[in-house]
Amino acid sequence: MPHRRQSESPSLKQFKVGEKIRISMHGGKIVDAVIKAVLDTTHGLKYQVDFGKDQTATITERQVVRD
């Protein structure tokens, strides 16, 4: 069986631009964010998000807080 990338797993949802999510920042702080771009890199999906007042970050899928 061929190796599947994490982003191809059926149990993981791929988020879309404009979607509101909650993310875990470095240090454990959880914030509300809006996805501005989806980046497909060789190391899996990353998201560029806006949060707070004029703040942005590039996060990995594992930083998305799932309910």
Domain ranges of the chain: 6-63
Pair 22, 28: CB distance under 8 Å: no
Q: What is the DSSP letter of 11?
A: T
Q: pLDDT for 4-36, tens place per residue?
A: 454 444 445 688 999 999 999 988 899 999 999
The pair of structure tokens assigned to 25 is 């920042």
CA angle, residues 15, 18, 23, in degrees to nearest 5: 60
CATH of span 6-63 = 2.30.30
Rounded to two decimals, the pTM is: 0.73
Q: Return the amino acid letter for 51.
A: F
Q: pLDDT for 41-65, tens place per residue?
A: 888 889 999 998 999 999 998 999 9
Pairing mode of beta strands 55-60, 44-51: antiparallel
